[in-house]
Amino acid sequence: MSKAVNNNDKDFDAKPLTIADVQEQTRIYLERISTNKILIAGIVRDKRKTEPKIKMKRVDGKYTDEPIFDEDGQFQYWDPKYYITIAFEGGELDLLVELSWYSSLNVGNRALFEGHKGVKYGNVQDIYTNYTVL
């Protein structure tokens, strides 16, 4: 016959927590519930650059059909945008990156991207601030 186990018994052999232990656990808990951090790792599968678009005049916050010209009478263009597609287990993601990142990362590189959620171009987006080639 098996002996019944009483779950009401406390483990008196456990070491009591110090005030420093409780403060550290509280710090870790508060950091986790209020963090704004994004980490994603994957393999660079593709790189692409958008074509520069002509800048249009704005009137009352709306774009018109009139282009903006520079001093020489040439169209002004927006800077192109650079995208890197990374593949990870479970999917793919297109990241809007800076020109320096676009130039230094090659297709086939495995990289870890770090960032945070933020407002960019009036929308809440993932903003990546750092990467590490793995």
Residue 58's DSSP bridge partners are: 63
Q: Which residue has the higher pLDDT, 2 or 114?
A: 114
Domain boundaries along the sequence of the chain: 37-51+81-133
- The DSSP secondary structure of the chain, one letter per residue, reads -PPPP-TT---TTSPPPPHHHHHHHHHHHHHHHT---EEEEEEEEEEEEPPP-B-EEEETTEEEEEEPB-TTSPBPBPPP-EEEEEEETTEEEEEEE-HHHHHH--TT-EEEEEEEEEEETTEEEEEEEEEEE-
The mean per-residue pLDDT over the stretch 78-94 comes to: 93
Residue 55 is which amino acid? Answer: K
Looking at the predicted structure, is the pLDDT value of residue 86 above 90? Answer: yes
Q: Is the pLDDT of residue 8 over 70?
A: no
Are 118 and 127 in contact, with CB atoms under 8 Å apart?
yes
Determine the pLDDT at residue 111.
Answer: 95
Cβ atoms of 78 and 52 closer than 8 Å:
yes
Over residues 14-28, the pLDDT tens digits come to: 788 899 999 999 998
| 37-51+81-133: CATH number | 2.40.50.200
Looking at every residue in the chain, the average pLDDT score rounds to 86
| The pLDDT of residue 25 | 92
What confidence score (pLDDT) does residue 7 get?
57
For the cut 80, the answer to whether the pLDDT of residue 101 exceeds it is: yes
41 pLDDT higher than 70: yes
Give residue 50's pLDDT. Answer: 93
